[in-house]
Amino acid sequence: MLKGLNAIVTGSTSGIGLGIANVLASKGANLVINGFGDAAAIEAERANLEAKYGVKVVYSGADISKPSDVKAMVELCVSSFGSVDILVNNAGIQYTESVENFPAERWDAIIAINLSGIFHAIQAALPHMKAKGFGRIINIASVHGLIGSTHKVAYVAAKHGVVGMSKVVALETAGTGVTCNTICPGWVHTPLVQKQIEAKAAEQGISIEQATEDLLIAKQPSKQFATPEQMGELAAFLSSEAAAQMTGIAIPVDGGWTAQ
What single-letter DSSP state applies at residue 128?
H
Q: Which of 13, 116, 212, 239 binds ligand NAD (CB under 6 A)?
A: 13
Q: Which of 7, 58, 86, 91 binds ligand NAD (CB under 6 A)?
A: 91
> In the range 122-141, which residues lie near ligand NAD by CB under 6 A?
140
Closest CB to ligand NAD among 29 and 197?
197
* Candidates 13-21, 43-51, 197-205, 206-214; binding stretch for ligand NAD (CB under 6 A): 13-21
* Contacts for 51 with CB less than 8 Å, ≥ 6 apart: none
Contact between residue 20 and residue 229 where contact means Cβ atoms under 8 Å apart: no
Phi-psi region of 37 (alpha: psi -120 to 50; beta: other; left: phi over 0): left
Dihedral in degrees, nearest 10, Cα atoms 72, 73, 74, 78: 90
Q: Which of 111, 147, 192, 206 binds ligand NAD (CB under 6 A)?
A: 192
Contact between residue 251 and residue 217 where contact means Cβ atoms under 8 Å apart: no
Q: Which of 2, 7, 8, 17 binds ligand NAD (CB under 6 A)?
A: 17
Cα 203 to Cα 215: distance, rounded to the nearest angstrom? 13
Alpha helix segments (H runs only) across the chain: 15-26, 39-53, 67-81, 104-110, 117-132, 153-173, 191-204, 208-219, 228-239
> In the range 46-65, which residues lie near ligand NAD by CB under 6 A?
63-65
From the CB of 238, what's the least distance to ligand NAD, in Å?
15
15 lines the binding site for ligand NAD (CB under 6 A):
yes
What single-letter DSSP state applies at residue 254?
S
Other CB atoms within 10 Å distance of the CB of residue 78: 17
Count of residues near ligand NAD by CB under 6 A:
29
C-alpha distances (whole Å) from 105 to each of 151, 196, 206, 231, 238 are 15, 19, 30, 30, 35
From the CB of 8, what's the least distance to ligand NAD, in Å?
11
Q: Which of 188, 211, 236, 238 binds ligand NAD (CB under 6 A)?
A: 188
Active site annotation includes 155: yes
* Candidates 29-37, 80-88, 211-219, 232-240; binding stretch for ligand NAD (CB under 6 A): 29-37
From the CB of 55, what's the least distance to ligand NAD, in Å?
19
- Residues forming contacts to ligand NAD in the complex (CB under 6 A) are 10-11, 13-17, 34-37, 63-65, 90-93, 113-114, 140, 142, 185, 187-188, 190-193
| Residue numbers annotated as active site | 155
